């Protein structure tokens, strides 16, 4: 069984962020000011390793060792491109510069959405400014493909599935529409594969990400048809958030165990419905409240980041990991791939890195739950 964990790279200084938020800004600033918003709320969450610079190879080396020592095989870096790369120093300088980088594979998920300024955001969620729009189109995407192949996909520790470099796209409906439709999306993905082969790679494993891939979504059948026609090889979901109506009904908190079990049941149906592999994800927690203005009352608002939280524990996370592993054991050996969201999405409450509440216990829970399946 293989395991991969999403990595969110906004905890280092980036010039574009500095232009918006000021010199030296990183998303750690939101965590430093986060507090409890309702009785029993598990905030503030403080990183046990401190507010470190992930672009420092020594800092990233510690992350690599911790992940590898606890049964994780690959970091899936959220990757951004707004007429050029954004938030790339964590990968380029930190991970690829780490002396122990060979202990951990890596791959990319193209986070192809507009970058909105909710750092922090008020309750008027419909009017957040789009700081960086995602504008890549069919005529500009070949340069992106060449950039990815040259800088990342040919790296010796790039993660592969069945021998082919893995690459995923986050917002599938946005990707397809912005390329011009399903046929055009299929054309640009075929071109991506051709360019990869021309660079000496054996091909690509292209993965579609999206909550609307899950069988419960009203759009799932249509989306399944689209991703097949576009030429993807597999799909997954980024997390389990908002899969159930209870996310809207039980503010300010939903039950972790209930949401995790619900996701497993929907994942089972999705696996049966799809003509190619679906890789399930274990959501490690959910709390985007650090991205809200802390002085405003934490009541329901129309949309993100004013949402119900889902707080984990080592015991609950271990249970979700075991159940996901058991689900994967029903699949062929080459389809037994488990994702975690996330390694370090601190401002969304989805992380495995040690904190002031549990220390290393979340990572230890994952390691112990995965151990019986390590050779499966």
| Distance, CA of 265 to CA of 215 (rounded, Å) | 10
Q: How far is CA 56 from CA 12, 37, 144, 278, 327, in A?
A: 9, 33, 26, 35, 38
* Full-model pTM: 0.97
Residues 271 and 278: their CA atoms lie apart, in Å, by 6
pLDDT at 203 over 70: yes
Rounded to whole angstroms, the Cα distance separating 50 from 85 reads 27
Say what the pLDDT of residue 223 is. Answer: 77
Ramachandran bin of 36, using left for φ above 0, alpha for ψ from -120 to 50, beta for the remaining angles: beta
- Give 309's strand partners: 253
Sorting pLDDT into bands at 50, 70 and 90, what band is 217? Answer: low
Q: What distance in Å separates the CA atoms of residue 234 and residue 156, rounded to the nearest whole number?
A: 23
Radius of gyration of the chain (CA): 20
Average pLDDT over residues 56-74: 98
> Quick one: pLDDT band at residue 244, thresholds 50, 70, 90?
confident
pLDDT tens column, 304-330: 999 999 999 999 999 999 999 999 999
The residues facing 279 across adjacent strands are 236
Q: Report how far residue 66's alpha carbon sits from residue 344's, in angstroms, rounded to the nearest whole number.
A: 12
pLDDT digits (tens, 9 = 90+) for 121-178: 999 998 999 999 999 999 999 999 999 999 999 999 999 999 999 999 999 999 999 9
pLDDT digits (tens, 9 = 90+) for 347-366: 999 999 999 999 999 999 99
Q: How confident is the model at residue 214 (pLDDT cuts 50, 70, 90)?
A: confident
Pairing of strands 164-169, 160-161: antiparallel
Helix, strand, coil percentages (3-state) for the chain, rounded to 5, are 40, 20, 40
* Those residues with Cβ within 8 angstroms of residue 99's Cβ, 6 or more apart along the chain or in another chain: 57, 61
The pLDDT assigned to 218 comes to: 60
Taking only the tens place, the pLDDT of each residue in 77-93 is 999 999 999 999 999 99
Check if CATH label 3.20.20.80 holds for domain 2-373: yes
């Amino acid at each position: 069984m293989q395991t991969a964990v999403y990595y969110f790279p906004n905890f280092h200084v980036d010039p574009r962020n500095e232009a918006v938020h000021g010199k030296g800004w990183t998303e750690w600033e939101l965590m430093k000011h986060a507090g409890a918003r309702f009785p029993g709320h598990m905030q503030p969450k403080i990183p046990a390793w401190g507010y470190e610079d992930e672009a420092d190879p020594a800092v990233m080396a510690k992350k690599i060792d911790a992940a590898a020592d606890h049964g994780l095989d690959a970091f899936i870096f959220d990757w951004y491109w707004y007429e050029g790369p954004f938030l790339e120093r964590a990968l380029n300088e930190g991970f690829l510069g780490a002396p122990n980088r060979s202990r951990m594979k890596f791959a990319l998920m193209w986070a192809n959405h507009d970058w909105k300024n909710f750092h922090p955001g008020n309750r008027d969620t419909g009017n957040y400014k789009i700081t960086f729009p995602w504008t890549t189109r069919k005529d500009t995407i070949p340069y992106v493909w060449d950039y990815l192949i040259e800088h990342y996909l040919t790296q010796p520790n790039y993660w592969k599935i069945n021998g082919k470099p893995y690459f995923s796209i986050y917002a599938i409906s946005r990707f397809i529409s912005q390329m011009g439709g399903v046929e055009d999306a299929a054309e640009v993905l075929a071109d991506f594969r051709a360019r990869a082969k021309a660079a000496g790679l054996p091909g690509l494993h292209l993965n579609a990400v999206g909550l609307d891939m899950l069988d419960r979504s009203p759009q799932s059948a249509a989306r399944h048809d689209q991703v097949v026609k576009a030429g993807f090889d597999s799909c997954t979901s980024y997390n389990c958030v908002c899969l159930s109506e209870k996310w809207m009904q039980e503010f300010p908190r939903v039950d972790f165990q209930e949401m995790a079990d619900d996701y497993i049941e929907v994942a089972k149906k999705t696996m049966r419905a799809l003509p190619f592999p679906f890789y399930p994800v274990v959501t490690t927690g959910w709390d985007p409240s650090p991205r809200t203005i802390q002085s405003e009352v934490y009541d329901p608002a129309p949309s993100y980041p004013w949402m119900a939280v889902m707080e984990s524990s080592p015991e609950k996370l271990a249970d979700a990991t075991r159940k996901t592993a058991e689900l994967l054991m029903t699949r062929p050996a080459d389809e037994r791939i488990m994702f975690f969201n996330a390694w370090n999405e601190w401002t969304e409450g989805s992380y495995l890195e040690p904190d002031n509440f549990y220390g290393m216990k979340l990572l230890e829970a994952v390691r112990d739950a995965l151990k019986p399946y390590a050779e499966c």
